[in-house]
Amino acid sequence: MNERKAPDKAQSASTAVAEAPGVPEGAVLRGIWPDSGSGGRRRVALTDPVELQQLDLEALPAATVTAAWIPMLEDGMGQPIRVPILVAKGARSGPVLGLTAAVHGDELNGVAAIHQLLPSIDLRKLRGTIVAVVVANPLAYFRRTRRLEEAHDLNHMFPGRPDGHVGEVLAERMRDKLLRRMDVLLDLHTASKGRVNTLYVRADMTHPLTARMAYLQRPQIIVHNPPSDGTLRGMAASLGIPAITVEIGDPQLFQRKYARRALSGLRAVLADLRMIPRKPGSMGEEPIVCNSSAWMFTDQGGLMVMDVGLAEPVVKGQVVARQLDIFGRERGRYRAPKDGVVIGHAVDPVAPTGSRILHIGRVHSFSRPGILSREDVRDAARKEHPWEVLGPRWREDPACGGTTPESPPPREPPADP
């Protein structure tokens, strides 16, 4: 029997290194799929989890991935309810990119994407810090549900209140303990229970930075959706943090194809921020850009049969679903209220009155002003790099032989979104 030497408990987290082939299994962060590129093969040193009352990025060791618990709430026995985070701090200073997963407790593909991303990063070349909130909503995660309580959706409760109900308190503490440390945010979601989604992004497509982040994801669909009050993305925007929502497939699953596509988009944003080396790559297919979207709902009960699939175009008046009674007789048909594209749809056939049927996006015509096209974003970046607004942290660290804040970095073509 092979004996495995336990990690030295006295070893400081600061002694962990970027790649450590000899570290024990328990101290290694791997991609969850061993054949999925460098994320599966790289052996990245990971500290034993520590408990942090506050996220002090300056105090964390460089060239290290730190696993940590952040206490947020307490249960009925006075014990802490904690949020797990992974912090990948590079060897050089730079921006702070934030990732949040499982704001809804049954949305797990974002967790898988984080698990794939961090082992794929060479910490010796990383400039800046990645703060990944692995499970933002532990109460809903424990229940394996979208909501933390029956009527409380955390993503409708930001910025929260220190003296409110549990969801408002969690939202307020997430803002103060985590979000304020970030320069950029990607909030990772999936469809809700009983539904399926394309890989799509919700972003303010009139904002140059969030539009750029959206195109860099190379999604199937982008929905122009200015940040609204109550959402995590809306709160980030109110703090001046560019943020987008990435919808990665279906709930309560690890879906390899979606997580790997999301991984590509996350790395593209990191490269665009000059946090990791940029590699040449294809821009991918042009995404379908929608200027709005809306759900169709049933007006009676029965069994639902879908007649269209994900990412399919629909035209006004087209039959998109049929409803049967329990004996299999057709009760009615539902027709598309407008031309558009299928972003998501229900998969649970049991559909009482008021059930969701189909999420339709209205495809944008770029002959109309307002929403930025991929060409608009690319042309603007050729004149002035969009991330200049982040200031000195976006630029090279002078201590590492880079440029100073007063001296712009050498011009190089920005990444093609």
Q: Which of 59, 58, 80, 60 is nearest to 71 (CA)?
A: 80
pLDDT band at 319; cut points 50, 70, 90: very high
pLDDT of 400 > 60? The answer is no
Q: Which of 177, 185, 167, 174 is nearest to 227 (CA)?
A: 185
Domain with CATH 3.40.630.10 in the chain: 15-272
CATH number for the domain whose boundaries are 15-272: 3.40.630.10
Say what the pLDDT of residue 33 is: 57
What are 62's two structure tokens?
A: 């460089």
pLDDT band at 416; cut points 50, 70, 90: low
The residue that leads in pLDDT, 43 or 237, is 237
Domain with CATH 2.40.50.100 in the chain: 295-363
The residue that leads in pLDDT, 24 or 240, is 240
pLDDT of 394 > 80? The answer is no
Reported in sequence order, the residue ranges of 284-381 that DSSP labels E, i.e. its strands, are: 288-297, 302-306, 313-314, 319-324, 330-335, 340-346, 350-351, 356-363
d(CA 355, CA 359): 12
Q: Which of 342, 348, 223 is nearest to 298 (CA)?
A: 348
pLDDT of 16 > 50? The answer is no
Say what the pLDDT of residue 172 is: 96
pLDDT band at 220; cut points 50, 70, 90: very high
How much of the chain, in percent, has pLDDT values that exceed 90? Answer: 71
CATH number for the domain whose boundaries are 295-363: 2.40.50.100
Of the candidate ranges 16-25, 146-155, 192-201, 293-302, the one whose mean pLDDT is the lowest? 16-25
Full-model pTM: 0.85
Evaluate the omega torsion of the peptide bond into residue 21 and state whether it is cis, within 30 degrees of 0.
no
Residue located via tokens 């794929």 = 120
pLDDT band at 60; cut points 50, 70, 90: very high
Say what the pLDDT of residue 5 is: 41
